[in-house]
Amino acid sequence: MSPSDRFSPLTRALLDNIRRAGLPPLHTLPLAAARQAYAAGVGAMSEPGPALGRVERLGIPGPAGQIPAMLWAPRTEAGLPVLLYLHGGGFVIGGLDTCEAMCRRVAQLADVAVVAIDYRLAPEHRFPAALEDSMAALRWLADHGHTLGLDTRRMAVAGDSAGGCLAASTALMARDAGIPLRLQALFYPTVQARQATESFKTWSRDTPLSAELMAWFQAQSAAPLPPDQAWFREPLFAPDHTGVAPAWIGLAECDPLTDEGQLYADRLRSAGVPVQVRVWPGVLHDFINMGRFIPEAGQAHAELAAAVRQAFAI
């Protein structure tokens, strides 16, 4: 059996459609065009999110000025718990528009307020700028979220891909800062920069998240870090995972990053951290943004919402 035989029929059909369209790979485009193409692709493939009772644009103080943010909540009453969401895109592409549909759906299904931020992107702002913004947003929500009517005693952080890295590292920093989190929810997180896993070797060819695209992301975003901060980009290698927030990790079977997610789950478990892992068979990286074509996207949104709801009910 070849690796491509493991794709679900709908995943295979989607990949065939992408190939027939003949669109240039993102890493071959100028930066602005790559960002525009990714946003257009997500817009074309994701199911629109539901209408909600509360939608607000925010500005959160950050280390380099105001961080643009959005708040989505199913209703206007005070007292909802808050989920900080960090979008994916290799630290280079993506934004509030590329995570909005899912954030809206999770807010509705989990009955929570979801706050997503437009953290600074590379190469204009190389790592750890994105992480600095993520932690600044979490600190601000912890200290000032009550001014928005949010229950900051019940907070969680989530993200996908590069945003999953940010969420994992933010959770570790929150532990060190004494900011309690009920959950860290990670969709196929990139938790190491060393790409030598079996899933990377198997799925980084002939899929949208290619080895070439990942190398492009790394070249755009990498910056030297002091030795004691090297784990910021590679939370798998943080010196200590003890006491970090419980984790829910959602993975795609046919994804270069699947093994990284499993390795991170193992590392957390070895530190005594409760972990739930869910692997969707036959689907590929970024499937959560492909709901028009991949029904597992809606399932993933619902399971994330269920994990968030359960964490906040404790």
Segment 225-251, tens digit of pLDDT: 999 999 999 999 999 999 999 999 999
User: Which residue range forms the structural domain that includes residue 128?
Assistant: 13-313
CA 118, 121, 124, 127 dihedral sign is positive
Asked, for residue 4, whether it belongs to a domain, the answer is: no
pLDDT of amino acid 31:
98
Sheet bearing 65-73, strands edge to edge: 54-62, 65-73, 113-117, 80-86, 150-160, 183-187, 247-254, 275-284
Q: Which of 8, 134, 161, 199 is catalytic?
A: 161
CA atoms of 242 and 31, how far apart (whole Å): 39
- Say how many domains are in the chain: 1
6 in any annotated domain:
no
Which CATH number belongs to the domain containing residue 68 in this structure? 3.40.50.1820
Helix (H) or strand (E) holding 99: helix 96-110
Contacts of 11 (CB under 8 A, 6+ apart): 254, 282, 283, 284, 287, 294
Written as six digits, the tokens of 118 are 């437009």
Residue 144 designated active-site: no
The yes-or-no answer on residue 27 being catalytic is no
pLDDT digits (tens, 9 = 90+) for 294-313: 999 999 999 999 999 999 99
Find the catalytic residue in 210, 285, 286, 301: 285
Question: Quick check: is 212 in a domain?
Answer: yes
Please check whether residue 246 lies inside any domain of the structure. Answer: yes
Q: Is 134 a catalytic residue?
A: no
The pLDDT of residue 314 is 67
Which pLDDT does position 127 carry in this prediction?
96
**pLDDT tens digits along 167-210:** 999 999 999 999 999 999 999 999 999 878 999 999 999 899 99
Looking at residue 45, what is its pLDDT? 97
Residues of the chain below pLDDT 70: 1, 314
State which amino acid sits at residue 266. Answer: D
What CA–CA distance (Å, rounded) separates 214 from 92? 11
Active-site entry in 160, 255, 259, 286:
255
Among left, alpha and beta (phi > 0; psi -120 to 50; other), residue 173 is alpha
